[in-house]
């Protein structure tokens, strides 16, 4: 919560003004009973009609004043809440952009998105509400008591007496309700969890006849949710009758002692009426209380979730970047005894990996899922830092380079293709803002996607994504490759990026890649693609099992032989061995 | 300082009057509203009607509390008029306890109505939620094939939540608002028809003012919604695509794009919020005006002696009670509309047709040897478009049958028919000579186990996930199954071995390991009939080699049906059935089919060839 308040500092002036104008509104509202008492006492009781008109006119004038103040308050309140939302959102987004991959593993993408969207909106609305409604209640209570004092100090004492009780009760209720609603939220998450799981695993549940078990699980979670919700709602709804009772009791007291005062000449009838009027106004202002409790407990949860993100420290230290970029134009890559495990886990993913790749070589990486291929890839652009050993590009430890400088050297094509909403052209040029049309077309041609693009309705200007057309998996893969190629990278990383391509296109693509003077790493499952590589790295359980070209591995590695066999059949192996 | 002060007035002015733009999104928002009002309300009623007694209590309490709320100020007025003005302490002594009673009863009735209504509402929501869940389990599998989980989830969460909050609070509020409104107006009329008329003078002003504001806020809110959607889209895309953003070091650029969209949202949000902020202010000023009117005119009337001071006091109070429910009603109306629309979406699903029940004379099969035969089976998902046409074959107990063919040939449909996720339109399927239509679904599926393409894991421990195959299995049996599935060794390497908690998507273990767990699950179930639908196609070839042995062990001694994309995985099957467009084109063993030189031969060689081209 503190963190959120610091965002409001910039708006202190506007907040003060908004509150001031709200005070004007409140003052008018609080003046009303006073003015009415004047109308009654000076005018009607005295049979003095001009006084009625006079005070009536003051009342109308004040109303318009309040209206004008209210309009100005609207402007300032909206400015504060929108500005606040804007600032929080921006800080949050910048923070997320500075996240390392390890940070990302801590927060699921879906949760980050909700935090940036729903949670910010939630707090923003609460800020707006505070400036408009929530602050009213306390101010009205204070003002009401003060005005009551002005009208008649003795009678006002009864209102004052109730205030400490009221405040204590409200604070207690607010805290308790907050805790209750947190429990509700937890249970709701549990219910949704079961539901989500059932929808996703419906087929399996049917197949294994586990319907009744799942229903029991759901009923249990659901009953729990029901009980918690009832408890929370019933609690908050109890506050209102209690407040009413408290305020009404003070009205009774005012009536009783008021009548005594009137008889003794210590108070006028109009004053009694006015004080009672203040009491009812205070009660009415408190009626929004249930709503405020709920809004605040939600806002508090949101604030926590946002602060959680903002307080996450980045764990990748940027290099000092003193390396002149002119030194890195070869593209040799050296892994020297690299070991790695994901932060927060105990199992090492890569163990003692060492190899040297000369500039311009093509490297194929093979291995079972979970053997560490993708992890190895992610170490090269420094998405994660190695725990032991080092990675050198052209002899320079990548940890001493500036992250941006390092990543500019690399063209990365991830396993899951991710395109952005926009045209084909924009998507290819995404990797290089200053790419010319020639650059784009050249990259598309090399990625074997140029012909396909020309067949699209608007060629390079065709819009992709949700609002545009959908490409097939293979087309997307090639576009993603073109995006990496347009950067003319020194090192190209292809993470199983040709899986959806047919053999012919794949071969053409691999040939075209040879035109680039870049060191290419590709993760692949296909022996056919690996065969053309200069070096094959075979990984198993995070260790480098074998290294060499196709012929060497076929001779020395049992695992490689088995893979080869499974893809080409036993005859092929016999054929190869026979030929030898 | 001055700069800060003038900031709120420096937002670029939004163009307000764009009727043609305003009307288009409105049309698209229409479906948000309920299509069948009366039908949906009736259904809500059937859910609620189980608590009829309690509802009556609530209703009674609302009437009671509303009248007590009106009675309070009336009695106060009486106290002032009759006793305080005249100084009649004795009368006051009688009246005050009555007033205290009224206040106490008011609080009590308020509390009781809320307490009861929350109970009713939450029970109703619980019922709806559970019914929806149960219904999901009764729906044919095809229902889930047609819909996205996200959309279904949103019905369970947002829509039901919507109904829940509306039933809990808004229902009472709406009802009591209406009652208070009627009550206030009648009391006001009774007190002074003339003053009532004066109070009503503000109504046209209210309507006009509201119209003026909502005409603007309508456009502005749509603009804000659009900008918000735009910004959220950008957030979603760039955060899901974080890998790319980072790899291409484009952080600065996406932040710049974000700022631009964020700024646009701020501007439209500012105007929308400012204008909508006018509404309560307007209500307030009108309220105050009518208050002043009443005081002025009332004062005049009191001077002439036609009404008393007490009446003015009371009247002023009622006139406030008259505008507040109006305001509340306007606010609640939208919530109510969206809740009804939400309820309708929930009922839409509940109205979906359920899987047909077992036949009356369905038998229970205590044991199954595993002889399966399809006899002239045909089936279509949509009328007139046969997915399966006249398929016949026999599988002896213990045999392995592979289904092969291009996508859409009907392989998975055959499996669905065998496990009775669907029933055939024509022909019959027999297991050990029993027509499966005459066998209880439960009994049938108890003898089958499935290993599917996506090895689905639940949130829970490794042990629980394996035990899902047979709930009553002992820990030893679970470990035995894991050993047979080659899963034991990797499980022992997990942080808490068999008690390691897996996340729902099985994060923390690899795809191949997940599949091993699902094989262990199937081994534990010990079925007579095993079904493997693309069990290894999500797995790379290296992993496939590794789990091949576990699969062989699983298949041993059972009738197996295998669907596989890669033909090398089905070569050892006793019988390969080649499907195309829902028909059997040819069948036989791998060697027989290759010799036939038919469709299988073609398929096989096209796969083989594609591998060699790369050389």
Name B560's bridge partners.
Answer: B400, B530
CA distance B255 to chain A (A): 7
The whole-number average pLDDT for the span A88-102 is 82
CA distance B124 to B118: 10
User: Cα distance from B302 to chain A (closest Cα, Å)?
Assistant: 6
Identify any residues that bridge with A393 across adjacent strands, giving them in sequence order.
A333, A396
B57 to A195, A235, B61, B63, B123: CA distances (angstroms): 34, 20, 6, 10, 16
- Residue B122: per-residue pLDDT: 87
**Chain B residues touching A85 at Cβ < 8 A:** 266, 269
Q: Which of B180, B431, B205 is nearest to B319 (CA)?
A: B180
Q: Across the interface, do A252 and B100 touch by the CB < 8 Å criterion?
A: yes
Which residue ranges of chain B lie beneath pLDDT 70?
Answer: 1-4, 13-35, 142, 145-151, 154-155, 158, 320-321, 323, 327, 330-335, 355-359, 382-385, 407-408, 453-454, 503-508, 511, 536-543, 546, 565-569, 606-615
**Chain B positions in Cβ-Cβ contact with residue A401 (cut-off 8 Å):** none
Using alpha carbons only, give the angle B297, B301, B304 rounded to the nearest 5 degrees. Answer: 145
Considering only CB atoms, which chain B residues are within 8 Å of A499?
none
Please identify among residues 164-193 of chain B the ones whose CB lies closer than 8 Å to any CB of chain A. 164, 168-169
Contact A52 B72 (CB under 8 A): no
**B277 contacts chain A (CB < 8 A):** yes
Rounded Cα distance between B325 and B327, Å, is: 5
Closest CA to A443 of A403, A408, A492: A492
User: In this complex, do B5 and A17 lie within 8 Å of one another by their Cβ atoms?
Assistant: yes
Residue B104: per-residue pLDDT = 92
Of A265 and B147, more confident: A265
* Helical (H) or strand (E) element with B389: strand B388-395
Q: Among A33-42, A548-557, B501-510, name the one with the lowest average pLDDT.
A: B501-510
Which tokens in the block code for residue A259? 């009548």
Contacts of B416 in chain A (CB under 8 A): none
Residues in chain A with CB shorter than 8 Å from the CB of B270 are 78-79, 82
Three-state secondary structure readout of B497-551? HHHCEECCCCCCCCHHHHHHHHHHHHHHHCCCEEEEECCCCCCCHHHHHHHHHHH
Q: How far apart are CA A335 and CA A355, in angstroms?
A: 5
Dihedral in degrees, nearest 10, Cα atoms A417, A420, A424, A427: -80
Closest-CA residue of A relative to B78 is A255
Residue from B451, B415, B420, B404 nearest B580 by CA = B404
Residue to substitute from A8, A219, A220, A273, interface B, most B β-carbons within 10 A: A273
Backbone angles phi, psi at A557, to 5 degrees: -105, 120
| Nearest-by-Cβ selection for B296 from A52, A64, A244 | A52
Q: What is the pLDDT at residue B511? A: 67
Q: How far is A286 from chain B (nearest CA, A)?
A: 14
Per-residue confidence (pLDDT) for residue B318, from 0 to 100: 73
Separation of alpha carbons A334 and A355, rounded Å: 6
**A491-495 β-sheet, strand order:** A410-413, A491-495, A519-523, A362-367, A535-540, A543-548
Residues 6+ apart with CB under 8 A from B334: none
Instruction: Give the DSSP letter of residue B49.
Output: G
| Smallest CA–CA distance from A367 into chain B, residue | B542
Provide, as residue numbers in chain B, all residues whose Cβ is less than 8 Å from the Cβ of A260. Answer: 89
**Residues in chain A closer than 8 A to B284 (CB atoms):** 25, 29, 66-67, 70
CB-based contact A237 B114, cutoff 8 Å: yes
Distance (Å, rounded) from C-alpha B434 to C-alpha A68?
Answer: 84
Could A248 and B107 be called an inter-chain contact, meaning their C-beta atoms sit closer than 8 Å?
yes
A334 strand-pairing partners: A356, A392
pTM of the model: 0.68
Overall average pLDDT of the A524-529 stretch: 74
pLDDT class of A550 with cuts at 50, 70, 90: confident
Cα–Cα distances in Å, from A263 out to A40, A255, A367, B450? 18, 12, 99, 91
Token pair 């059949």 is found at A569
- Among candidates A62, A209, A370 on the partner chain, residue whose Cβ is nearest the Cβ of B512: A370
Copy the structure tokens of residue B130: 């559970």
Nearest to A229 among B107, B122, B242 (CB): B122
Q: What is the largest CA-CA distance in chain B?
A: 119
**What residues 100-159 of chain B have any CB closer than 8 A to a CB of chain A?**
100, 103-104, 106-108, 110-111, 114-115, 118-119, 122-123, 125-126, 129-130, 133-134, 136-137, 141, 144, 149, 152-153, 156-157
Residue whose token pair is 């963190």: A3
SS3 of A365-381: EEECCCCCHHHHHHHCC
Q: For residue B443, give the chain A residue with the closest CA.
A: A209
pLDDT of residue B108: 93
Q: Choosing among B136, B305, B415, B449, which should be mutated to test the A contact, i.e. which has the most A CBs within 10 A?
A: B136
Interface test with A, best of B64, B242, B547 (most A CBs within 10 A): B242
The C-alpha angle with vertex B531 and arms to B529 and B534, in degrees rounded to 5, equals 165
Q: Above 70 in pLDDT, residue A314?
A: no
Q: Do A368 and B542 touch (CB under 8 A)?
A: yes
Q: What is the pLDDT of residue B614?
A: 36
What is the average pLDDT across A87-95? 86
Q: Which of B525, B581, B513 is nearest to B550 (CA)?
A: B513
On whether the CB atoms of residues A338 and A379 are closer than 8 A, the answer is yes
Order across the sheet with A388-393: list the strands: A350-357, A333-340, A388-393, A396-397
Residue A18 main-chain phi, psi, to 5 deg: -55, -45
Measuring CA to CA, which residue among A160, A197, A19, A569 is closest to residue B541? A569
Examine the predicted complex and report whether its ipTM is higher than 0.85.
Answer: no
DSSP string, A56-68: HHHHHHHHHHHHH
Residues on chain A touching B545 (C-beta within 8 angstroms): 562-563, 566
Given strand B426-431, what is the order of strands in its sheet?
Answer: B388-395, B372-379, B426-431, B434-435
User: Across the interface, do A78 and B303 touch by the CB < 8 Å criterion?
Assistant: no
Q: What is the pLDDT of residue B101?
A: 92
Q: Are A113 and B458 inside 8 Å of each other by CB?
A: no
């Amino acid at each position: 919560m503190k963190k959120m308040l610091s965002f409001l500092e910039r708006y202190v002036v506007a907040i003060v003004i908004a509150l001031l104008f709200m005070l004007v509104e409140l003052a008018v509202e609080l003046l009303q009973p006073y003015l009415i008492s004047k109308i009654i006492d000076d005018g009607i009781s005295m049979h003095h009609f001009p006084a009625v008109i006079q005070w009536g006119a003051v009342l109308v004038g004040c109303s318009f004043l309040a209206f004008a103040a209210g309009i100005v308050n609207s402007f300032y309140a909206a400015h504060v809440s929108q500005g606040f939302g804007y600032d929080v959102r921006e800080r949050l987004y910048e923070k997320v952009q500075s996240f390392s991959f390890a940070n990302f593993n801590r927060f699921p993408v879906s949760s980050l998105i909700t935090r940036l969207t729903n949670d910010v909106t939630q707090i923003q609305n609460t800020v707006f509400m505070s400036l408009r409604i929530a602050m009213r209640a306390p101010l009205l209570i204070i003002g009401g008591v003060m005005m009551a004092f002005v009208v008649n100090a003795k009678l006002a004492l009864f209102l004052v007496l109730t205030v400490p009780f009221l405040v204590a009760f409200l604070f207690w209720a607010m805290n308790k309700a907050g805790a209750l609603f947190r429990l509700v939220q937890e249970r709701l998450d549990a219910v949704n969890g079961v539901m989500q799981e059932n929808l996703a695993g419906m087929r399996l549940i049917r197949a294994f006849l586990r319907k009744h078990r799942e229903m029991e699980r759901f009923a249990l979670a659901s009953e729990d949710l029901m009980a918690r919700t009832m408890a929370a709602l019933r609690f908050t709804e109890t506050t209102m009758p209690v407040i009413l009772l408290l305020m009404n009791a003070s009205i009774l007291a005012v009536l009783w002692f008021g009548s005594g005062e009137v008889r003794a000449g210590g108070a006028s009838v109009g004053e009694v009426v006015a004080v009672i009027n203040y009491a009812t106004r205070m009660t009415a202002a408190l009626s929004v209380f249930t709503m405020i409790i709920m809004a605040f407990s939600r806002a508090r949860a949101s604030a926590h979730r946002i602060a959680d993100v903002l307080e996450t420290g980045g764990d990748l230290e940027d290099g000092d970047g003193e390396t002149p970029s002119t030194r890195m134009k070869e593209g040799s890559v050296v892994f020297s005894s690299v070991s790695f495990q994901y932060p927060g886990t105990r199992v090492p993913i890569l163990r003692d990996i060492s190899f040297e790749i000369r500039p311009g070589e093509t490297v194929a990486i093979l291995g079972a899922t979970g053997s560490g291929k993708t992890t190895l890839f992610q170490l090269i652009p420094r998405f994660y830092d190695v725990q032991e050993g080092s990675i050198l590009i052209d002899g320079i430890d990548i940890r001493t380079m500036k992250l941006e400088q390092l990543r500019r050297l690399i063209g990365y094509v991830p396993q899951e293709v991710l395109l952005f909403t926009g045209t084909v052209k924009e998507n290819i040029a995404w990797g290089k803002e200053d790419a010319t049309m020639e650059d784009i077309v050249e990259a598309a041609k090399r990625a074997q996607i140029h012909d396909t693009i020309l067949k699209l309705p608007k060629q390079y200007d065709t819009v992709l994504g949700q609002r545009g057309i959908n490409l097939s998996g293979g087309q997307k893969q090639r576009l993603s490759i073109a995006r990496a190629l347009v950067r003319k990278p020194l090192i190209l990383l292809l993470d199983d990026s040709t899986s959806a391509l047919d053999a012919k296109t794949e071969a053409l693509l691999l040939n075209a890649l040879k035109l680039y003077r870049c060191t290419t790493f590709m993760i692949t499952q296909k022996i056919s693609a690996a065969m053309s590589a200069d070096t094959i790295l075979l990984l198993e359980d995070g260790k480098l099992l074998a290294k060499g070209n196709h012929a060497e591995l076929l001779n020395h590695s049992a695992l490689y032989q088995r893979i080869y066999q499974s893809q080409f059949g036993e005859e092929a192996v016999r054929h190869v061995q026979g030929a030898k | 300082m001055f700069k800060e002060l003038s900031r709120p007035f420096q937002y670029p002015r939004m163009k307000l009057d764009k009727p043609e733009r305003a009307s288009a999104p409105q049309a698209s928002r229409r479906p948000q509203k309920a299509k069948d009002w009366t039908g949906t309300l009736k259904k809500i009623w059937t859910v609620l009607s189980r608590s009829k007694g309690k509802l009556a209590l609530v209703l009674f309490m609302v009437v009671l509390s509303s009248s007590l709320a009106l009675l309070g100020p009336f009695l106060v007025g009486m106290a002032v008029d009759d006793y305080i003005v005249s100084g009649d302490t004795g009368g006051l002594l009688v009246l005050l306890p009555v007033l205290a009673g009224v206040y106490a009863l008011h609080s009590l009735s308020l509390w009781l109505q809320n307490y009861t209504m929350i109970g009713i509402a939450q029970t109703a929501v619980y019922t709806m939620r559970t019914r929806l869940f149960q219904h999901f389990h009764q729906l044919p599998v095809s229902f889930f094939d047609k819909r996205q989980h996200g959309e279904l989830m949103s019905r369970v969460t947002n829509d039901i939540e919507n109904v829940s909050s509306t039933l809990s609070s808004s229902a009472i509020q709406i009802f009591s608002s209406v009652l208070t409104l009627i009550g206030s107006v009648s009391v006001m009329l009774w007190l002074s028809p003339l003053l009532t008329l004066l109070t009503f003078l503000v109504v046209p002003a209210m309507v006009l003012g509201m119209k003026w504001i909502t005409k603007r806020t309508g456009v502005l809110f749509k603009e804000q919604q659009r900008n918000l959607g735009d910004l959220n889209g950008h957030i979603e895309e760039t955060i899901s695509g974080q890998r790319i953003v980072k790899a291409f070091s484009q952080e600065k650029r996406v932040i710049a794009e974000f700022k631009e969209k964020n700024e646009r949202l701020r501007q439209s949000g500012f105007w929308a919020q400012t204008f909508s902020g006018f509404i309560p202010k307007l209500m307030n000023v009108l309220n105050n005006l009518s208050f002043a009117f009443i005081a002025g005119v009332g004062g005049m009337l009191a001077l002439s002696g036609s009404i008393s001071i007490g009446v003015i006091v009371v009247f002023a109070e009622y006139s406030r009670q008259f505008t507040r429910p109006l305001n509340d009603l306007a606010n609640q109306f939208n919530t109510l509309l969206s809740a009804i629309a939400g309820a309708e979406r929930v009922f839409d699903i509940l109205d979906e047709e359920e899987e047909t029940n077992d036949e009356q004379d369905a038998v229970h099969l205590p044991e199954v040897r595993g002889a399966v035969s399809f006899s002239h089976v045909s089936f279509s998902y949509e009328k007139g478009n046969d997915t399966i046409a006249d398929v016949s074959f026999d599988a002896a107990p213990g045999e392995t049958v592979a289904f092969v063919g291009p996508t859409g040939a009907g392989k998975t449909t055959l499996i669905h028919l065998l496990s009775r996720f669907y029933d055939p339109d024509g022909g019959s399927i027999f297991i050990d000579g029993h027509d499966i239509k005459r066998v209880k679904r439960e009994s049938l599926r108890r003898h089958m186990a499935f290993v599917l393409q996506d090895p689905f894991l639940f949130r829970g421990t490794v042990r629980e996930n394996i035990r899902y195959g047979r709930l009553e299995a002992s820990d030893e049996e679970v470990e035995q199954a894991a050993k047979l599935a080659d899963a034991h060794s990797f499980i022992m390497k997990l942080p808490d071995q068999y008690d390691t908690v897996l996340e729902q998507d099985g994060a923390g273990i690899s795809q191949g390991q997940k599949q091993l767990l699902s094989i262990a699950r199937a081994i534990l179930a010990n079925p007579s009939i095993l079904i493997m639908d693309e069990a290894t196609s999500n797995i790379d070839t290296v992993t496939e080699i590794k789990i091949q042995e576990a699969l062989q062990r699983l298949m041993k001694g059972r009738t197996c049906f295998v669907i596989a994309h890669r033909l090398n995985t089905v070569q050892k099957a006793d019988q390969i059935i080649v499907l195309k467009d829902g028909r059997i084109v040819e069948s036989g063993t791998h060697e027989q089919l290759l010799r036939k030189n038919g469709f299988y031969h073609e398929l096989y060689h096209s796969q083989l060839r594609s591998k060699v081209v790369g050389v």
